[in-house]
Structure 1
Amino acid sequence: MSWLGLKKAINRAGTQVMLKAGQIEQTVDKEFEFEEKRFRVMESNSIALQKKLRSYLDSLKMLTKSQLNIAQLLDSFYGQESQAPHTFENPMNGEEMELFKNLSGEYFHILQKLNTQVIGDLEHPYNQTVLNPIARFNSYYVEINEAIKKRHHKLLDYDAMRNKLKKLIDTPQTEYSNYDVKFRELSDELVETEQKYFDINQKLKDELPKLVNMRVAFFDPSFESFVKIQLRFFNENYQNLQQLQTKLDAKTKQDYAEGKLDDKIDDVLSRMKALDITGKDNHIA
């Protein structure tokens, strides 16, 4: 920071202290305050939205990854039957076991596809049409906040100069040998600082509402794309899993119609209770 910049920063800090203490009359622009408040609400919401949209894509990846992990374990679980010693009569016949082994393997391959191909196909359009546009929109906040900060500095300079001139006017002219010269100098400085403040203040009052109102037209295409990408993702999941569901439902409905479903569950539970490892009288020394 240059010496001039440091001097201005010190003067503005002193002005802020006197403003808080009520020693300087503060300039208030209700119109600007209203527009800045609207801008702050939009800024907060759009930054939060960007974070949530980024985490949404990560959530889809986590979802498909979790599904794949479960499918892999199920496939291994059913696959152990062929290697397990047959110490008691299996409640399922060979045809049923083969069916469920095949279904668990098919389920695993479906989830592999969803985890790689479907997510891969969605990620690029999601970044291009949803994440990148909102990131670009939010990047403008840096420049806008710099302008608001500059306006604040110009306002401090303006209020400080008004206070200096007021003090001079309230002071008896007899205390100054060059009162007229001093008055002209402060008046000229006040006109200059006033113009700088009014220029940036008016510019922000004109531009901030335009930016806030622009958000709808800017985000509308991204919102539409977000909905379509969601629809595509869940349609892909539904269509792939529906094929497997049809095969599972056919067997389940057949067992239910023949009264076998409850009997099978009860039979397995009774066999588990009969095992030594679940016996009530079995104790570990």
Structure 2
Amino acid sequence: RLRLSHFFSERTMFKDVGTSFGRMKHSAMVGIGKANVTKDPEFDENCERIKVQKSIVSKMQTDCKRYLNALRMLSKAHYELAESIRDFYLASDPSQDSLKDLSVNYYNAADQLRSIDAEVEGELQQDFIAPIEVYLTEMKSTFKKIEHRNRSRDDMDRLNRYAGHTDPEKAAQYQRCADSFSALNSELLVELPHVFRTRTEFFDPLFKSLLEVQEKCYSKLASMEQFSQGATNVNRQSIRDYKLHPEGDSVYKQQADAGAVGGAAVGGAAAAGGPTYGQPAGGPTYGQPAPAAGAGPSYGQPAPA
């Protein structure tokens, strides 16, 4: 039994290899124009439409994920910015007339907006991204059917020489491929136009969900306008004339300028040939003994006249 099973297994394997080789050979012959391919213009047109539709929907899914990611990052950055502004005012001198209360309210609003953004993210995941994933999964089965149809067509064309063959097995082999191709082609000629024709039935509610979710998000974001009304007494243009240090020379600058002048004076004295620091005028070089009376000149110097 094991030998028989092994025999049939090897036979099936060699048969599959032969079929694959035959398909490759037929494809190569088609490429150089030495073999014919069964054409169906109606199918080709519908298939191309579905390919374009699948590509657009796939990109739409990617774009929505990028949109969600950007919304998530914006919400986080907005919250952290509001938190920093609040902390700045809370650390300021409470006796100063400032926008401390407004900064706290602004922070609370940003925190609330962050929770709304989380709701928006959940709704988009449920009502936009998830339906697209289901749609693309269902389209995969359609494209697998298209691949099966094309293989059956290629096998039918490859075995066309067996049509009406005197060998019943060869004739049956061709007929199986022809029947498979005919059935799949007829089914797809109904399915593909339906998928394309009903595309708006899928996308219209999807688009409506996106609009409603965005309206919720942006209307709440627009409510942040109220906070600018709470700072009407502040002139935003004054920041252009603001200086951290008061007008006039500071003590530090005066002392720095004085130090620079003193340094220049010392440098001038050295250039004029004054004594070395800490040595009396005309004294010996530091570390050298004074010359004895009547001694000759230093090494390398001419004798005095």
Alpha carbons of structure 1 residues 150 and 270: separation in structure 2 relative to 1, 3 Å: closer
Which structure shows the bigger proportion of residues in helix conformation? 1
What is the match of residue 192 of structure 1? Answer: 176
Larger Rg: 2
| Matching residue's letter, 2:22 | N
Q: 1:61: Cα distance to partner?
A: 1.2
Q: How does 1:5-20 map to 2 (within 5 A)?
A: 5-20=16-31
Q: 1:188: Cα distance to partner?
A: 4.3
What is the match of residue 242 of structure 1? Answer: 225
| Match of residue 96, structure 2, among 91, 94, 97 | 94
SS at match of 2:182: helix
Alpha carbons of structure 1 residues 220 and 267: separation in structure 2 relative to 1, 3 Å: closer
Whole-Å separation in 1 of the counterparts to 2:108 and 2:45? 57
What is the match of residue 232 of structure 1? Answer: 216
Normalised to the residue count of structure 1, the TM-score between the two structures is 0.75
What is the match of residue 87 of structure 1? Answer: none
In the alignment, is the contact (CA less than 8 A) between 2:149 and 2:185 conserved in 1? yes
Higher RCO (CA 8 Å, separation ≥ 6 residues): 1
What is the match of residue 176 of structure 1? Answer: none
Q: 1:21: Cα distance to partner?
A: 1.9
In the alignment, is the contact (CA less than 8 A) between 2:79 and 2:107 conserved in 1? yes
| Match of residue 166, structure 2, among 181, 205, 214 | 181
What is the match of residue 125 of structure 1? Answer: 123
| Match of residue 135, structure 1, among 109, 133, 136 | 133
Q: 1:223: Cα distance to partner?
A: 0.6
Structure 2 residue runs of 5 or longer lacking an equivalent are 1-8, 261-305
Task: Determine whether 1:107 maps to 2:92.
Answer: no
| Matching residue's letter, 1:26 | V
Q: 1:80: Cα distance to partner?
A: 3.8
Normalised to the residue count of structure 2, the TM-score between the two structures is 0.70
Task: Determine whether 1:59 maps to 2:70.
Answer: yes
Alpha carbons of structure 1 residues 189 and 121: separation in structure 2 relative to 1, 3 Å: closer
What is the match of residue 85 of structure 2? Answer: 74
Alpha carbons of structure 1 residues 158 and 269: separation in structure 2 relative to 1, 3 Å: same
Whole-Å separation in 1 of the counterparts to 2:134 and 2:72? 24
Q: Deviations over 1:182-216 (max 9, x none)?
A: 4x654444333222111111211211110111210
What is the match of residue 151 of structure 2? Answer: 153
Whole-Å separation in 1 of the counterparts to 2:256 and 2:128? 61
Whole-Å separation in 2 of the counterparts to 1:102 and 1:216? 50
Aligned residues: 245
Whole-Å separation in 1 of the counterparts to 2:134 and 2:171? 44
Q: 1:165: Cα distance to partner?
A: 4.4
| Match of residue 34, structure 1, among 36, 45, 64 | 45
In the alignment, is the contact (CA less than 8 A) between 1:134 and 1:219 conserved in 2? no
State the superposition RMSD in angstroms. 3.1
Whole-Å separation in 2 of the counterparts to 1:266 and 1:161? 84
Q: Deviations over 1:79-112 (max 9, x none)?
A: 44339xxxxxxxxx822x2xx2222222122111
What is the match of residue 267 of structure 2? Answer: none
What is the match of residue 24 of structure 1? Answer: 35
Sequence identity, in percent? 21
In the alignment, is the contact (CA less than 8 A) between 2:82 and 2:106 conserved in 1? yes
What is the match of residue 251 of structure 1? Answer: 233
